[in-house]
Chains A and B, each alone.
Chain A
Amino acid sequence: MAFLARLGAPVRGFLEFLGDQAHLVLRTLRHALLLRLDQLAVVGGQMKLQIRFTGLDALWLVSGTALLLGAVTLIQAFSQLSGLGAENYIGALMVLIILRELGPLLTAVLVIGRSATAIAAELGAMQLNGEVDALAAHGVNPYQYLLLPRWLGVLVSVFALVVFFDAMALGGGFLVAKLKYGVTFGFYMDSVRQALSNRDFTATLLKVALFSGAITFHACHFGLRIQHSQTEIPQAVTKTVVSALVAVFALDGLIAALLYF
């Protein structure tokens, strides 16, 4: 019996976690629908702050990473496929590796590292300082003031960062293709365009929506669970990173299986 209980405890814990996440998402959605027009400016202000931190401040990091990744991908591809007409596969390679998979995935990883950790730590500190209680007690709905703008801010930021990541990675790839094979910009873009399908756009949009939700609500869940001491903050941040990474990779696999399998 004790053995069965030991086996069941993690499963139960996981199901409880999923239940908590669903509860948090549904409550945030429900309270979003209750927002009044005169409250939009306050919520919008918080959302802008989140977009600035998650999106704008991360732009150089994401752009640099993407430029290098695009270039390295084509350098490696050319080193393996030289003599096999590698230049004909440039578009397919970039779409398969960067646009379909690495663009959204690496953007999500960077956002988890920069923003999910910050959200969890900030909400944890607010919780410890009684700020979340104070907001609610004075009629400022925490779902509307804390969770909704962070969710929307991360959603907008992840979308913009994925677009930037893809564009910069294509740019990095083009630089290598031009230097190595003298490929023209028109040929390069035609090759990418031919390899792209509507399904790729659908997959990217789906990933942006699901990844940003997973990142925000994992951070909010662990941050708001902090109750007693500051030593809980680094623990919550670590849990956020691990849990959000697992969620993002699982969702990525699920979307690939649904759309491409």
Chain B
Amino acid sequence: MSAGNGFDPRSASYLDSIEVVEVQRGPDPGGVGGAYRAFGETLRGLKTTMARLIEGPMTIEYPEEKTPVYPRFRGRHKLHKFEDTGLEKCVGCSLCAAACPADCIRVVAAENIPGDRVSAGERYAAVYEINLSRCIFCGYCEIACPFDAITMGHDYEMADYDRRDLIFTKEMLLAEPVERTPLKSEGE
């Protein structure tokens, strides 16, 4: 190192230029002061837990008591009929199946026979199956449907012992579902 660059780590100007950063440390543990502080903090902790005791449990005892869901909650699907004519809204267009990212909807369409109409349109869904073990409950089918024939319900209790029982047929989807799930009230 030549003396020409003027750098000297011991020079006063260099030492002045260093910014001394105070490292924040916690209070020194131990000693009588520490014991006194620990005692105070313990009392504070005891107060905190006692406040929780007074607040009471927040548990929702599930099988007996259910969390209310929001109106737009996406639960199990429902297929709909027209209330006046009793005809199915689904016309078997398979748009829901096309929109489904999990590929869990299977639709086989058939022509309506005049006099024995099943749906309001030209065709109807002869087979309409949703494999609920695959469904991701995204609600795209509901959005894709041009006739609001399929909507997402509020039922989320779909556990079953057999995977085959999770393939829901048209009859099961059309049936009036048991409303087991409470709905959230306004402002809840």
Query: A and B: real partners?
Result: no
Interface residues of chain B, those whose CB is within 8 Å of chain A, are none
